Structure 1
Amino acid sequence: MPTEPTISAIAHVIQLSVAPVFLLSGIAAILGVMAARLARVVDRARAIEEEVMAKPLPPGPLHEELAALSRRAQIISLAIGLCTTTALLISAVIAVLFLSAMFSFESSAVVASLFVAAMLTLIAALILLLREILFATAGLRFGPR
């Protein structure tokens, strides 16, 4: 029969949960940046599509830009998915910490595995964000065309 968790055990779990909660705040900020980048890509793509629909042109620079925007949107959408997965994994870490305190079971392997998985998905999301940024800046042209 499981023992009743003590206040000190729950307080200890709350202390352990503080770092993952701060990590969730950072992930939320990164998600905000990614969502803003996706919104700008979508807005630009809609503007170009309107221009193409207004006066249909043979394939050219506008069509190339639409293709590039489509690729950027795919990359950043995948990054958002991975970042959201990271937040879910960190939330699972917090839940397992509390469940282990309430039901007195050893959770270190589960918590460590979830945390490592969260860090791997965060790394992948950040790599994709960097890839999208590099892809966006590669197509920049300054000065006369």
Structure 2
Amino acid sequence: MFHAKRLKCTPQRLAVLKVLKESGAYLSINMLDKKVKEMLPGTGLATVYRALETLEELGLVAKVHLEDGCHSYAVAPEGHMHPIVCTECNKVIDFAECPLGELSEKLTQDTGIVIQNHFLQLFGKCRECQA
């Protein structure tokens, strides 16, 4: 995938992917930076951000927006997913059911704009935080 886009498969990019794969969850930039530094001491925060940006462009990493303005990152799930973010604990649950297919078709008919993609993210309280 890297070579097809004329990008180098750097140790830093591989480390970011490895950390995300091993975690199996969405990680904050601070946690990700800490774990990457454990693997590759001397890696700067800016390098981690650049690696994330490249990996996201390649479709390998998913980014979710948290209510506090920060982001969390994970290995991109297969298929079309939408995240639900808990506003209390920042837990992220991906759901595959997409209610926007019919709306996209209607918008295309009404506006003449062919919808190529969309982003839907929901916020609420998870079961644990409701208790």
Using structure 2 for the length normalisation, give the TM-score.
Answer: 0.23
Higher relative contact order by CA 8 Å / sep ≥ 6: 1 or 2? 1
Bigger Rg over Cα = 1
Using structure 1 for the length normalisation, give the TM-score.
Answer: 0.21
